[in-house]
A and B are shown apart, each in its own frame.
Chain A
Amino acid sequence: MTLADEIEELTGINPLKCYQCGKCSAGCPVRIFMKVSPNKVVRLVQLGLDDEALKSETIWMCAGCLTCSTRCPQNFDLAKFMDALKEIAIKKGVITRKDILKFHKAFLKQIEANGKAFEFGLIRDYKLATFNLFQDMDIAPEMFFKGKIKLFPHKIKNRDAIKKIFDKANKE
Protein backbone atom coordinates (compact mmCIF):
# COMPACT_ATOMS: atom_id res chain seq x y z
CA MET A 1 0.00 0.00 0.00
CA THR A 2 1.35 3.45 -0.87
CA LEU A 3 1.48 6.21 1.69
CA ALA A 4 -1.25 8.05 -0.24
CA ASP A 5 -3.53 5.02 0.15
CA GLU A 6 -2.74 4.71 3.84
CA ILE A 7 -3.60 8.36 4.41
CA GLU A 8 -6.85 7.98 2.51
CA GLU A 9 -7.78 4.91 4.54
CA LEU A 10 -7.04 6.67 7.82
CA THR A 11 -8.62 10.05 7.07
CA GLY A 12 -10.77 9.80 3.94
CA ILE A 13 -8.56 12.48 2.38
CA ASN A 14 -7.37 11.77 -1.16
CA PRO A 15 -3.91 13.38 -1.43
CA LEU A 16 -4.38 13.82 -5.19
CA LYS A 17 -7.11 16.38 -4.50
CA CYS A 18 -4.47 19.03 -3.82
CA TYR A 19 -3.58 21.08 -6.94
CA GLN A 20 -0.58 22.81 -5.33
CA CYS A 21 -1.83 26.40 -5.23
CA GLY A 22 0.28 26.95 -2.09
CA LYS A 23 -2.37 28.93 -0.20
CA CYS A 24 -1.76 26.69 2.83
CA SER A 25 1.93 27.52 3.02
CA ALA A 26 1.26 31.23 2.40
CA GLY A 27 -0.87 31.45 5.53
CA CYS A 28 0.99 28.94 7.69
CA PRO A 29 2.24 30.66 10.89
CA VAL A 30 5.04 28.11 11.40
CA ARG A 31 6.16 28.05 7.75
CA ILE A 32 9.14 30.26 8.68
CA PHE A 33 10.40 27.47 10.95
CA MET A 34 10.11 24.74 8.31
CA LYS A 35 12.63 23.57 5.76
CA VAL A 36 9.95 21.97 3.56
CA SER A 37 6.69 23.91 3.14
CA PRO A 38 3.37 22.15 3.90
CA ASN A 39 2.22 22.01 0.25
CA LYS A 40 5.54 20.39 -0.69
CA VAL A 41 4.88 17.60 1.80
CA VAL A 42 1.61 16.93 -0.02
CA ARG A 43 3.55 16.94 -3.30
CA LEU A 44 6.02 14.36 -1.93
CA VAL A 45 3.09 12.07 -1.11
CA GLN A 46 1.55 12.66 -4.56
CA LEU A 47 4.82 11.71 -6.22
CA GLY A 48 5.18 8.58 -4.13
CA LEU A 49 8.24 9.86 -2.30
CA ASP A 50 6.86 8.29 0.87
CA ASP A 51 10.04 8.16 2.93
CA GLU A 52 10.84 11.81 2.31
CA ALA A 53 7.33 12.82 3.37
CA LEU A 54 7.41 10.73 6.54
CA LYS A 55 10.90 11.93 7.45
CA SER A 56 10.16 15.62 6.95
CA GLU A 57 10.34 17.73 10.08
CA THR A 58 7.37 19.71 8.76
CA ILE A 59 4.83 17.12 9.93
CA TRP A 60 6.07 17.60 13.52
CA MET A 61 6.25 21.39 13.29
CA CYS A 62 2.58 21.76 12.30
CA ALA A 63 0.91 23.55 15.24
CA GLY A 64 -2.56 22.30 14.24
CA CYS A 65 -3.91 25.86 13.98
CA LEU A 66 -6.15 24.82 11.05
CA THR A 67 -5.56 27.99 9.03
CA CYS A 68 -4.64 25.87 5.98
CA SER A 69 -7.63 23.55 6.40
CA THR A 70 -9.95 26.56 6.54
CA ARG A 71 -8.50 28.38 3.53
CA CYS A 72 -7.96 25.49 1.13
CA PRO A 73 -9.99 25.98 -2.07
CA GLN A 74 -10.18 22.19 -2.42
CA ASN A 75 -11.44 21.62 1.15
CA PHE A 76 -8.33 19.57 1.80
CA ASP A 77 -7.93 19.20 5.56
CA LEU A 78 -4.17 19.63 5.63
CA ALA A 79 -3.91 19.72 9.45
CA LYS A 80 -5.61 16.33 9.59
CA PHE A 81 -3.31 15.11 6.80
CA MET A 82 -0.28 16.16 8.91
CA ASP A 83 -1.71 14.30 11.93
CA ALA A 84 -2.17 11.18 9.77
CA LEU A 85 1.44 11.39 8.59
CA LYS A 86 2.64 11.58 12.21
CA GLU A 87 0.48 8.62 13.17
CA ILE A 88 1.86 6.54 10.28
CA ALA A 89 5.43 7.70 10.99
CA ILE A 90 5.07 6.57 14.62
CA LYS A 91 3.80 3.15 13.53
CA LYS A 92 6.74 2.80 11.15
CA GLY A 93 9.22 4.08 13.73
CA VAL A 94 10.37 6.94 11.48
CA ILE A 95 10.56 9.78 14.00
CA THR A 96 12.38 12.93 12.92
CA ARG A 97 11.48 14.96 16.01
CA LYS A 98 11.81 12.49 18.85
CA ASP A 99 11.54 15.27 21.43
CA ILE A 100 8.06 16.26 20.23
CA LEU A 101 6.89 12.64 20.30
CA LYS A 102 8.32 12.30 23.81
CA PHE A 103 6.26 15.31 24.85
CA HIS A 104 3.06 13.77 23.46
CA LYS A 105 3.86 10.43 25.09
CA ALA A 106 4.56 12.06 28.47
CA PHE A 107 1.24 13.95 28.20
CA LEU A 108 -0.76 10.85 27.27
CA LYS A 109 0.93 8.72 29.92
CA GLN A 110 -0.58 10.93 32.64
CA ILE A 111 -4.04 10.71 31.09
CA GLU A 112 -3.80 6.95 30.79
CA ALA A 113 -2.81 6.67 34.46
CA ASN A 114 -5.04 9.35 36.01
CA GLY A 115 -7.77 10.17 33.50
CA LYS A 116 -6.63 13.79 33.55
CA ALA A 117 -3.57 15.73 32.50
CA PHE A 118 -0.99 16.22 35.26
CA GLU A 119 1.45 18.99 34.46
CA PHE A 120 4.08 18.19 37.07
CA GLY A 121 4.31 14.57 35.90
CA LEU A 122 4.30 15.65 32.26
CA ILE A 123 7.16 18.11 32.67
CA ARG A 124 9.15 15.73 34.90
CA ASP A 125 8.86 12.85 32.42
CA TYR A 126 9.53 15.07 29.42
CA LYS A 127 12.64 16.57 31.01
CA LEU A 128 13.99 13.16 31.98
CA ALA A 129 13.31 11.78 28.51
CA THR A 130 14.97 14.67 26.67
CA PHE A 131 17.60 15.78 29.24
CA ASN A 132 16.20 19.28 28.76
CA LEU A 133 16.46 19.81 32.49
CA PHE A 134 16.81 23.54 32.96
CA GLN A 135 14.12 25.06 30.72
CA ASP A 136 11.52 26.96 32.76
CA MET A 137 13.28 26.39 36.06
CA ASP A 138 12.79 30.13 36.67
CA ILE A 139 8.98 30.04 36.49
CA ALA A 140 8.46 26.64 38.12
CA PRO A 141 8.51 27.86 41.76
CA GLU A 142 6.04 30.64 40.95
CA MET A 143 3.73 28.16 39.22
CA PHE A 144 3.84 26.06 42.34
CA PHE A 145 3.19 28.93 44.77
CA LYS A 146 0.30 30.20 42.63
CA GLY A 147 -1.19 26.74 42.92
CA LYS A 148 -1.01 26.24 39.15
CA ILE A 149 1.12 23.12 39.42
CA LYS A 150 0.36 20.45 41.96
CA LEU A 151 2.74 17.78 43.16
CA PHE A 152 0.17 15.00 43.05
CA PRO A 153 -2.25 14.14 40.25
CA HIS A 154 -6.00 14.35 40.53
CA LYS A 155 -7.31 10.92 39.60
CA ILE A 156 -10.76 10.27 38.18
CA LYS A 157 -12.89 7.47 39.68
CA ASN A 158 -13.40 5.31 36.62
CA ARG A 159 -9.78 4.89 35.55
CA ASP A 160 -10.56 1.43 34.19
CA ALA A 161 -12.64 2.98 31.42
CA ILE A 162 -9.68 5.17 30.39
CA LYS A 163 -7.26 2.25 30.52
CA LYS A 164 -9.53 0.26 28.20
CA ILE A 165 -9.76 3.15 25.72
CA PHE A 166 -5.96 3.42 25.60
CA ASP A 167 -5.45 -0.34 25.30
CA LYS A 168 -7.86 -0.58 22.38
CA ALA A 169 -6.50 2.55 20.66
CA ASN A 170 -2.95 1.21 20.89
CA LYS A 171 -3.94 -2.20 19.55
CA GLU A 172 -5.33 -0.81 16.26
Chain B
Amino acid sequence: MDIGYYPGCSLTGTAKEYDQSIRRVFSELGINLVELDDWSCCGATSAHATNHLLSVALPARNLSLAKKQGLKEIFIPCAACYNRFVVAKYEMEKNPGLKKRVEEMIEEKADTDIGIVNMVEMFQRIDKELILAKRQKELKGFKVAAYYGCLLVRPNSITQFDDAEMPTSMEEIIKLTGAEPVDWNFKVECCGASHSITNMNVVLTLSKRIIDDAAENGAEAIIVACPMCHSNLDMRQRNISKQDSQHKNMPILYLSELIGLSLGLDKESLGLGLHFTDTEPVLSRFSTAIVAKE
Protein backbone atom coordinates (compact mmCIF):
# COMPACT_ATOMS: atom_id res chain seq x y z
CA MET B 1 0.00 0.00 0.00
CA ASP B 2 1.28 3.48 -0.91
CA ILE B 3 0.34 6.57 1.08
CA GLY B 4 1.60 10.17 1.08
CA TYR B 5 3.79 11.12 4.03
CA TYR B 6 4.17 14.57 5.56
CA PRO B 7 6.71 14.31 8.43
CA GLY B 8 6.50 17.98 9.48
CA CYS B 9 9.38 20.01 10.91
CA SER B 10 9.56 18.43 14.39
CA LEU B 11 10.18 14.99 12.91
CA THR B 12 13.27 16.28 11.11
CA GLY B 13 14.72 17.64 14.37
CA THR B 14 13.60 17.34 17.97
CA ALA B 15 11.36 14.33 17.21
CA LYS B 16 13.63 12.52 14.80
CA GLU B 17 13.13 9.21 16.62
CA TYR B 18 9.41 9.48 15.82
CA ASP B 19 10.22 9.70 12.09
CA GLN B 20 12.83 6.96 12.38
CA SER B 21 10.50 4.51 14.16
CA ILE B 22 7.62 5.28 11.78
CA ARG B 23 9.70 4.58 8.67
CA ARG B 24 11.09 1.37 10.19
CA VAL B 25 7.75 0.05 11.48
CA PHE B 26 5.73 0.77 8.34
CA SER B 27 8.37 -0.71 6.07
CA GLU B 28 8.16 -3.84 8.27
CA LEU B 29 4.37 -3.83 7.82
CA GLY B 30 4.58 -3.43 4.03
CA ILE B 31 3.44 0.18 3.80
CA ASN B 32 5.24 2.45 1.36
CA LEU B 33 5.43 6.01 2.69
CA VAL B 34 5.74 8.45 -0.23
CA GLU B 35 7.22 11.64 1.24
CA LEU B 36 5.58 14.76 -0.15
CA ASP B 37 8.20 16.41 -2.35
CA ASP B 38 9.29 19.91 -1.26
CA TRP B 39 6.83 20.05 1.64
CA SER B 40 6.85 23.16 3.82
CA CYS B 41 5.94 23.97 7.42
CA CYS B 42 2.23 24.07 8.40
CA GLY B 43 2.85 27.19 10.52
CA ALA B 44 1.76 25.34 13.68
CA THR B 45 0.83 27.43 16.70
CA SER B 46 2.65 30.61 15.73
CA ALA B 47 0.74 31.11 12.47
CA HIS B 48 -2.75 30.58 13.90
CA ALA B 49 -1.94 32.61 16.99
CA THR B 50 -0.96 35.66 14.96
CA ASN B 51 -2.35 35.53 11.41
CA HIS B 52 -5.40 33.49 10.45
CA LEU B 53 -4.89 33.71 6.67
CA LEU B 54 -1.32 32.51 6.99
CA SER B 55 -2.44 29.56 9.13
CA VAL B 56 -4.74 28.34 6.34
CA ALA B 57 -2.46 29.17 3.40
CA LEU B 58 0.59 27.27 4.71
CA PRO B 59 -1.18 23.87 4.91
CA ALA B 60 -3.06 24.71 1.68
CA ARG B 61 0.23 24.93 -0.25
CA ASN B 62 1.06 21.38 0.85
CA LEU B 63 -2.41 20.10 -0.04
CA SER B 64 -1.94 21.47 -3.57
CA LEU B 65 1.47 19.81 -3.79
CA ALA B 66 -0.08 16.50 -2.76
CA LYS B 67 -2.70 16.83 -5.48
CA LYS B 68 -0.06 17.61 -8.10
CA GLN B 69 2.01 14.65 -6.98
CA GLY B 70 -0.98 12.35 -7.39
CA LEU B 71 -1.45 11.61 -3.68
CA LYS B 72 -5.02 10.97 -2.52
CA GLU B 73 -4.17 10.80 1.15
CA ILE B 74 -1.39 12.08 3.40
CA PHE B 75 -0.34 10.47 6.65
CA ILE B 76 0.61 13.19 9.17
CA PRO B 77 2.13 11.74 12.36
CA CYS B 78 2.51 15.08 14.19
CA ALA B 79 -0.76 15.84 15.98
CA ALA B 80 -0.19 19.60 15.66
CA CYS B 81 0.38 19.44 11.89
CA TYR B 82 -2.51 16.98 11.54
CA ASN B 83 -4.80 19.43 13.31
CA ARG B 84 -3.70 22.42 11.20
CA PHE B 85 -4.28 20.49 7.96
CA VAL B 86 -7.70 19.21 9.00
CA VAL B 87 -8.77 22.66 10.20
CA ALA B 88 -7.46 24.41 7.06
CA LYS B 89 -9.37 21.97 4.86
CA TYR B 90 -12.55 22.42 6.90
CA GLU B 91 -12.36 26.22 6.88
CA MET B 92 -11.80 26.39 3.11
CA GLU B 93 -14.71 24.00 2.51
CA LYS B 94 -17.02 26.04 4.75
CA ASN B 95 -15.92 29.44 3.51
CA PRO B 96 -15.53 29.83 -0.29
CA GLY B 97 -14.39 33.45 0.17
CA LEU B 98 -11.51 32.33 2.36
CA LYS B 99 -10.62 29.58 -0.12
CA LYS B 100 -10.45 32.15 -2.91
CA ARG B 101 -8.13 34.42 -0.91
CA VAL B 102 -5.91 31.46 -0.07
CA GLU B 103 -5.75 30.51 -3.76
CA GLU B 104 -4.54 34.03 -4.51
CA MET B 105 -1.85 33.62 -1.88
CA ILE B 106 -0.56 30.22 -2.98
CA GLU B 107 -1.15 30.99 -6.69
CA GLU B 108 -2.59 27.51 -7.10
CA LYS B 109 -5.96 25.85 -6.90
CA ALA B 110 -6.63 24.91 -3.27
CA ASP B 111 -7.49 21.24 -2.95
CA THR B 112 -9.67 20.10 -0.08
CA ASP B 113 -10.29 16.55 -1.27
CA ILE B 114 -6.99 15.13 0.00
CA GLY B 115 -7.51 12.73 2.92
CA ILE B 116 -5.56 13.43 6.13
CA VAL B 117 -4.64 10.42 8.27
CA ASN B 118 -3.24 10.62 11.81
CA MET B 119 -0.92 8.17 13.60
CA VAL B 120 -3.63 6.12 15.31
CA GLU B 121 -5.72 5.94 12.13
CA MET B 122 -2.68 4.62 10.25
CA PHE B 123 -2.42 1.66 12.61
CA GLN B 124 -6.20 1.15 12.50
CA ARG B 125 -5.91 0.58 8.74
CA ILE B 126 -3.42 -2.22 9.06
CA ASP B 127 -4.81 -5.70 9.35
CA LYS B 128 -4.64 -6.69 13.03
CA GLU B 129 -3.73 -10.22 12.04
CA LEU B 130 -0.69 -8.92 10.17
CA ILE B 131 0.60 -7.07 13.24
CA LEU B 132 -0.03 -10.14 15.40
CA ALA B 133 1.70 -12.40 12.88
CA LYS B 134 4.74 -10.12 12.68
CA ARG B 135 4.96 -9.74 16.44
CA GLN B 136 8.22 -10.97 17.91
CA LYS B 137 7.69 -9.97 21.51
CA GLU B 138 4.61 -9.97 23.65
CA LEU B 139 4.81 -7.01 26.00
CA LYS B 140 2.71 -8.88 28.54
CA GLY B 141 2.20 -7.20 31.88
CA PHE B 142 3.56 -3.90 30.58
CA LYS B 143 1.18 -1.27 31.91
CA VAL B 144 0.97 1.89 29.83
CA ALA B 145 -1.13 5.06 29.73
CA ALA B 146 -2.40 6.06 26.28
CA TYR B 147 -2.05 9.83 26.08
CA TYR B 148 -3.94 11.60 23.27
CA GLY B 149 -3.36 15.20 24.29
CA CYS B 150 -5.38 17.91 22.58
CA LEU B 151 -4.94 18.05 18.88
CA LEU B 152 -5.84 14.54 17.74
CA VAL B 153 -9.31 14.65 19.23
CA ARG B 154 -10.24 18.34 19.33
CA PRO B 155 -12.27 19.99 18.00
CA ASN B 156 -14.07 16.74 17.46
CA SER B 157 -16.62 18.23 15.06
CA ILE B 158 -13.69 18.93 12.69
CA THR B 159 -11.20 16.09 13.30
CA GLN B 160 -14.06 13.55 13.41
CA PHE B 161 -11.65 11.23 15.16
CA ASP B 162 -12.63 9.07 18.14
CA ASP B 163 -14.08 10.94 21.13
CA ALA B 164 -13.07 14.34 22.53
CA GLU B 165 -13.38 13.38 26.21
CA MET B 166 -12.93 9.61 26.36
CA PRO B 167 -11.09 8.28 23.31
CA THR B 168 -10.20 4.57 23.26
CA SER B 169 -8.74 3.91 19.80
CA MET B 170 -5.07 4.11 20.85
CA GLU B 171 -5.70 1.53 23.57
CA GLU B 172 -6.99 -0.91 20.93
CA ILE B 173 -3.71 -0.56 19.00
CA ILE B 174 -1.64 -0.88 22.18
CA LYS B 175 -3.40 -4.14 23.08
CA LEU B 176 -2.01 -5.72 19.88
CA THR B 177 1.45 -5.61 21.47
CA GLY B 178 0.25 -7.45 24.56
CA ALA B 179 0.77 -4.33 26.71
CA GLU B 180 -2.03 -3.37 29.09
CA PRO B 181 -3.50 0.14 28.81
CA VAL B 182 -4.44 1.53 32.23
CA ASP B 183 -7.58 3.46 33.04
CA TRP B 184 -6.56 7.02 33.94
CA ASN B 185 -7.82 10.60 34.08
CA PHE B 186 -5.51 12.75 31.98
CA LYS B 187 -5.56 11.19 28.53
CA VAL B 188 -6.91 14.33 26.84
CA GLU B 189 -5.47 16.99 29.18
CA CYS B 190 -3.14 19.63 27.74
CA CYS B 191 0.64 19.42 28.40
CA GLY B 192 1.07 23.19 27.91
CA ALA B 193 2.15 22.83 24.30
CA SER B 194 4.13 25.74 22.88
CA HIS B 195 4.45 27.43 26.29
CA SER B 196 7.55 25.22 26.73
CA ILE B 197 9.87 28.12 25.90
CA THR B 198 7.86 31.21 26.87
CA ASN B 199 6.15 29.98 30.08
CA MET B 200 8.04 26.90 31.11
CA ASN B 201 6.36 26.85 34.49
CA VAL B 202 2.99 26.23 32.79
CA VAL B 203 4.40 23.20 30.99
CA LEU B 204 6.10 21.83 34.12
CA THR B 205 2.91 22.13 36.16
CA LEU B 206 0.63 20.59 33.54
CA SER B 207 3.06 17.88 32.45
CA LYS B 208 3.77 16.86 36.02
CA ARG B 209 0.05 16.40 36.67
CA ILE B 210 -0.21 14.17 33.61
CA ILE B 211 2.81 12.04 34.55
CA ASP B 212 1.71 11.78 38.21
CA ASP B 213 -1.79 10.63 37.29
CA ALA B 214 -0.41 7.98 34.92
CA ALA B 215 1.92 6.74 37.69
CA GLU B 216 -0.84 6.71 40.31
CA ASN B 217 -2.90 4.51 38.03
CA GLY B 218 -0.12 2.00 37.64
CA ALA B 219 1.39 3.03 34.29
CA GLU B 220 5.06 2.24 33.73
CA ALA B 221 5.23 4.36 30.58
CA ILE B 222 3.13 6.91 28.71
CA ILE B 223 2.41 6.33 25.02
CA VAL B 224 2.10 9.43 22.81
CA ALA B 225 1.38 10.29 19.18
CA CYS B 226 2.52 13.92 19.14
CA PRO B 227 6.07 15.37 19.10
CA MET B 228 5.03 18.37 21.19
CA CYS B 229 3.54 16.14 23.90
CA HIS B 230 6.68 14.03 23.75
CA SER B 231 9.03 16.94 24.13
CA ASN B 232 7.07 18.36 27.07
CA LEU B 233 6.68 15.04 28.89
CA ASP B 234 10.09 13.58 28.02
CA MET B 235 12.56 16.48 27.79
CA ARG B 236 10.83 18.70 30.36
CA GLN B 237 10.75 15.77 32.80
CA ARG B 238 14.38 16.72 33.48
CA ASN B 239 13.19 20.07 34.79
CA ILE B 240 10.39 18.39 36.75
CA SER B 241 12.94 16.09 38.44
CA LYS B 242 15.07 19.08 39.36
CA GLN B 243 12.12 20.74 41.09
CA ASP B 244 10.92 17.57 42.82
CA SER B 245 13.47 15.16 44.25
CA GLN B 246 10.72 12.57 44.83
CA HIS B 247 9.86 12.44 41.12
CA LYS B 248 10.17 8.96 39.60
CA ASN B 249 11.15 8.83 35.95
CA MET B 250 8.37 7.87 33.56
CA PRO B 251 9.53 6.74 30.09
CA ILE B 252 7.56 8.41 27.27
CA LEU B 253 7.27 6.28 24.13
CA TYR B 254 5.84 7.10 20.75
CA LEU B 255 3.12 4.69 19.64
CA SER B 256 5.34 3.72 16.70
CA GLU B 257 8.19 2.86 19.07
CA LEU B 258 5.93 0.62 21.15
CA ILE B 259 4.71 -1.25 18.06
CA GLY B 260 8.33 -1.43 16.85
CA LEU B 261 9.40 -3.04 20.13
CA SER B 262 6.76 -5.72 19.77
CA LEU B 263 7.86 -6.32 16.17
CA GLY B 264 11.29 -7.10 17.61
CA LEU B 265 13.03 -4.03 16.16
CA ASP B 266 16.15 -2.98 18.01
CA LYS B 267 16.67 0.05 20.19
CA GLU B 268 18.90 1.86 17.70
CA SER B 269 16.58 1.58 14.73
CA LEU B 270 13.66 2.89 16.82
CA GLY B 271 15.74 5.77 18.16
CA LEU B 272 14.98 4.91 21.79
CA GLY B 273 18.39 6.19 22.83
CA LEU B 274 17.47 9.69 21.71
CA HIS B 275 15.02 10.29 24.54
CA PHE B 276 15.86 12.50 27.50
CA THR B 277 14.06 10.31 30.05
CA ASP B 278 15.69 6.89 30.17
CA THR B 279 13.77 4.16 28.35
CA GLU B 280 16.04 1.38 29.62
CA PRO B 281 13.63 0.22 32.37
CA VAL B 282 11.15 -0.57 29.59
CA LEU B 283 13.66 -2.17 27.27
CA SER B 284 15.31 -4.41 29.83
CA ARG B 285 11.96 -5.94 30.76
CA PHE B 286 11.28 -7.12 27.24
CA SER B 287 14.66 -8.34 26.18
CA THR B 288 13.65 -11.93 26.84
CA ALA B 289 9.89 -12.09 26.32
CA ILE B 290 9.66 -13.75 22.94
CA VAL B 291 6.23 -14.79 21.71
CA ALA B 292 5.81 -18.51 21.34
CA LYS B 293 5.04 -19.01 17.64
CA GLU B 294 2.32 -21.54 17.02
Report chain B residues within 8 Å CB of A169.
Answer: 51, 53-54, 57, 105
Inter-subunit contact B189/A29 (CB<8 Å): yes
Q: What 1/0 mask marks residues of chain A from 142 to 153 whose CB sits below 8 Å from any chain B CB? A: 110011111000
Q: Give the contacts of B185-228 with A (CB-CB under 8 A).
A: 188-190, 192-195, 197-202, 205-206
Inter-subunit contact B40/A104 (CB<8 Å): no
Q: Is residue B238 contacting chain A, with contact meaning CB distance below 8 A?
A: yes
Q: Is residue A123 contacting chain B, with contact meaning CB distance below 8 A?
A: yes
Q: Is residue A30 contacting chain B, with contact meaning CB distance below 8 A?
A: yes
Inter-subunit contact B164/A64 (CB<8 Å): no
Inter-subunit contact B47/A108 (CB<8 Å): yes
Inter-subunit contact A29/B190 (CB<8 Å): yes
Report chain B residues within 8 Å CB of A156.
Answer: 38-40
A67 to B142 CA separation, bound complex (whole angstroms): 30
Identify which of B16, B48, B235 contacts A83 (C-beta below 8 A). Answer: B48
Q: Compute the total of residue contacts between A and B using a CB distance below 8 Å.
A: 158
Q: With A33-B199, A119-B14 in contact, do A67 and B238 touch (Cβ < 8 Å)?
A: no
Inter-subunit contact B276/A139 (CB<8 Å): yes
Central interface residue in B38, B41, B192, B206, by most chain A CB within 10 Å = B41
Q: With A65-B190, A162-B40, A166-B54 in contact, do A116 and B9 touch (Cβ < 8 Å)?
A: yes
Q: With A143-B14, A150-B13, A156-B38 in contact, do A69 and B154 touch (Cβ < 8 Å)?
A: yes
The chain B residue sitting closest to A62, CB to CB, is B49
Central interface residue in A11, A86, A165, by most chain B CB within 10 Å = A165
Inter-subunit contact A11/B52 (CB<8 Å): yes
Q: Is residue B43 contacting chain A, with contact meaning CB distance below 8 A?
A: yes
Q: How far is the CB of B204 from chain A (nearest CB, A)?
A: 12
Q: With A29-B189, A86-B49, A115-B41 in contact, do A70 and B154 touch (Cβ < 8 Å)?
A: yes
Inter-subunit contact A108/B46 (CB<8 Å): yes
Q: How far is the CB of B3 from chain A (nearest CB, A)?
A: 21
A12 to B198 CA separation, bound complex (whole angstroms): 30
A116 to B40 CA separation, bound complex (whole angstroms): 5
Q: How far is the CB of A81 from chain B (nearest CB, A)?
A: 12
Q: With A111-B40, A148-B13 in contact, do A168 and B105 touch (Cβ < 8 Å)?
A: yes
Q: Is residue A17 contacting chain B, with contact meaning CB distance below 8 A?
A: no
Inter-subunit contact B154/A116 (CB<8 Å): no
A39 to B183 CA separation, bound complex (whole angstroms): 31
Q: Is residue A99 contacting chain B, with contact meaning CB distance below 8 A?
A: yes
Report chain A residues within 8 Å CB of B43.
Answer: 108, 111
A120 to B226 CA separation, bound complex (whole angstroms): 21
Report chain A residues within 8 Å CB of B287.
Answer: none
Q: Is residue B281 contacting chain A, with contact meaning CB distance below 8 A?
A: no
Inter-subunit contact B46/A107 (CB<8 Å): yes
Q: Is residue A117 contacting chain B, with contact meaning CB distance below 8 A?
A: yes
Q: Is residue B124 contacting chain A, with contact meaning CB distance below 8 A?
A: no
Identify which of B41, B157, B198 contacts A111 (C-beta below 8 A). Answer: B41
The chain B residue sitting closest to A136, CB to CB, is B197
Q: Is residue A100 contacting chain B, with contact meaning CB distance below 8 A?
A: yes
Q: Is residue B143 contacting chain A, with contact meaning CB distance below 8 A?
A: no
The chain B residue sitting closest to A86, CB to CB, is B49
Inter-subunit contact A10/B39 (CB<8 Å): no
Report chain B residues within 8 Å CB of A146.
Answer: 274
Inter-subunit contact B151/A66 (CB<8 Å): yes
B contacts, CB < 8 Å to A? 9-10, 12-16, 38-41, 43-54, 57-58, 61, 95, 104-107, 150-151, 154-157, 164-165, 188-190, 192-195, 197-202, 205-206, 235, 238, 274, 276
22 contacts between A and B (CB under 8 A): A10-B52, A29-B192, A30-B190, A30-B192, A64-B193, A65-B154, A65-B193, A66-B151, A66-B155, A70-B164, A70-B165, A75-B157, A87-B50, A97-B198, A103-B194, A146-B274, A147-B16, A161-B107, A162-B61, A165-B54, A168-B53, A168-B105
Interface pairs A-B: 4 shortest CB-CB: A65-B190, A117-B9, A66-B154, A104-B46
